[in-house]
């Protein structure tokens, strides 16, 4: 379960939202807004000689919407597994289930227990109160989680260091790290089990009566983005295309050291003017996300492109390459994100996708998915897949759960 935050969420913005005002990401004149589902989307009208004005619509990516729907059942399975494993005798009295998950959710979990006897075994009767525990095969598979977590630890330490290196002061409030611990793959008790193990990398310090996680030393070898690593794997260096006339393709993709991979939604038909502007944007150099944001003027187009790179890198550091809108907003101060973050994301439909499926609006890094499937999975997600497959069906992307220590 995600921790609550007092920060505003994209889908909770009032009708007088500042998305209708101008900023570095908006046009010079105010942009009217239209409600789309449960999200405000900028709509720009242009004169059409008395005809009905054309509207900008936010094209849905149904596969990514479906990812959020498909995660519900695996989330319950994995959460119940963690609850059972947290008990002293690795079993949970059914009468205590309500204490763990609440009255409403209890019935969802009871349905899961009944539906998946290959995973959950119900025992008791007569004088013994009924209880639930992991079935024999499920318990055997669950034993593989420890090795998956061992494989994860070097990745977690590396990603946590990169997360701090992205911030302007190489420090982030500890509560922000806790807010995205499931997305990063961190264990519940990372403050005790992980941070103290690496004093050469991390320290916790009080700043204005708030605990911050500090980076102890800078490592230039880590100041390379996932985008740059992908380009290097494709053989595209910083000097690629110099002296050559390389045109952008109709799908928005461009082979160059400063380009982002594009994946336009179905139904999105960019015209020639749009592609010409996109080509200039794809070719434009920009500062590294690992350089201090205080050095740059947000009104500079290169700085605005750098913000896109920061968001791209932040999502790349998560296990499933997605975060809720509230989680992104939580890092507003540490990464100098724009005040109108939603508008920034909407302006790049080839890179990011925002869905309102589920309890919270969620931002996806589109290049990380092939239809419903996450392309590259970390050891922990691979373990989750294997455990959920015991239910008799293959789940594409099990939901984040609160990890046991």
pLDDT of residue 267: 84
CA distances from 25 to 39, 303, 324, 346, 365 (A): 18, 11, 21, 10, 20
pLDDT of residue 332: 93
Q: Report the alpha-carbon distance of residue 162 to residue 151 in Å, rounded.
A: 18
pLDDT of residue 14: 40
For residue 123, what is the DSSP state?
E
The architecture that CATH gives domain 143-220 is Orthogonal Bundle (1.10)
pLDDT of residue 235: 80
List of the chain residues with pLDDT < 50: 1-40, 42-48, 402-405
pTM score of the predicted model: 0.82
pLDDT of residue 27: 37
Q: Report the alpha-carbon distance of residue 30 to residue 42 in Å, rounded.
A: 10
Q: Report the alpha-carbon distance of residue 152 to residue 155 in Å, rounded.
A: 5
The architecture that CATH gives domain 62-134 is Orthogonal Bundle (1.10)
pLDDT one-digit tens code per residue, 189-233:
999 999 999 999 999 999 999 999 999 999 999 999 999 999 988
**SS3 label, residue 292:** coil
Domain boundaries, given as residue ranges, for the chain: 62-134, 143-220, 221-370
pLDDT one-digit tens code per residue, 85-142:
999 999 999 999 999 999 999 999 999 999 999 999 999 878 889 999 999 999 999 9
Max distance between CA atoms of the chain, in angstroms, equals 83
Q: Do domains 62-134 and 143-220 have the same CATH topology?
A: yes
Q: Which residues in 60-200 belong to E strands, given as ranges?
A: 91-93, 120-125, 128-134, 171-173
């Amino acid at each position: 379960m995600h921790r609550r935050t007092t920060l505003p969420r994209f889908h909770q913005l009032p009708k007088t939202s500042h998305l209708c005002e101008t900023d570095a990401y908006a046009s010079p004149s105010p942009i009217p807004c239209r409600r789309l589902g449960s999200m405000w989307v900028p709509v720009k009208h242009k004169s059409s000689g008395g005809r009905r004005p054309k509207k900008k619509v936010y094209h849905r990516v149904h596969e990514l919407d479906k990812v959020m729907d498909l995660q519900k059942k695996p989330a319950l399975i994995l959460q119940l597994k963690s609850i059972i494993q947290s008990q002293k005798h690795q079993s949970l009295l059914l009468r205590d289930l309500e204490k763990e998950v609440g009255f409403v959710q209890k019935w969802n979990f009871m349905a899961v227990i009944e539906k998946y006897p290959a995973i959950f075994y119900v025992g008791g009767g007569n004088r013994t109160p009924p209880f639930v525990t992991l079935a024999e095969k499920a318990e055997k598979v669950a034993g593989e989680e420890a090795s998956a977590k061992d494989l994860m630890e070097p990745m977690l330490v590396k990603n946590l260091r990169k997360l701090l290196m992205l911030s302007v002061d190489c420090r982030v409030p500890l509560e922000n790290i806790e807010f995205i611990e499931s997305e990063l793959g961190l264990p519940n008790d990372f403050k005790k089990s992980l941070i103290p193990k690496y004093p050469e990398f991390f320290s916790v310090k009080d700043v204005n009566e708030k605990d911050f996680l500090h980076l102890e030393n800078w490592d230039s070898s880590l100041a390379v983005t996932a985008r740059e690593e992908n380009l290097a794997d494709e053989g595209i260096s910083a000097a690629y295309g110099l002296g050559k006339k390389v045109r952008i393709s109709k799908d928005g993709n461009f082979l160059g050291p400063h380009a982002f991979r594009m994946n336009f939604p179905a139904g999105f038909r960019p015209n020639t003017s749009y592609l010409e502007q996109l080509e200039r944007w794809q070719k434009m150099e920009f500062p590294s996300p690992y350089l201090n944001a205080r050095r740059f003027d947000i009104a500079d187009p290169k700085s605005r492109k750098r913000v896109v790179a920061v968001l791209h890198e932040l999502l790349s550091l998560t296990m499933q390459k997605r975060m809720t809108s509230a989680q992104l907003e939580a890092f507003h101060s540490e990464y100098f994100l724009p005040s109108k973050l939603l508008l920034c994301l909407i302006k790049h439909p080839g890179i990011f996708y925002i869905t309102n499926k589920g309890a919270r609006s969620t931002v996806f890094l589109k290049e990380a998915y092939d239809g419903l499937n996450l392309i590259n999975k970390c050891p922990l997600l691979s373990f989750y897949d294997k455990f959920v497959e015991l239910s008799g069906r293959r789940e594409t992307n099990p939901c984040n759960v609160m990890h046991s220590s």
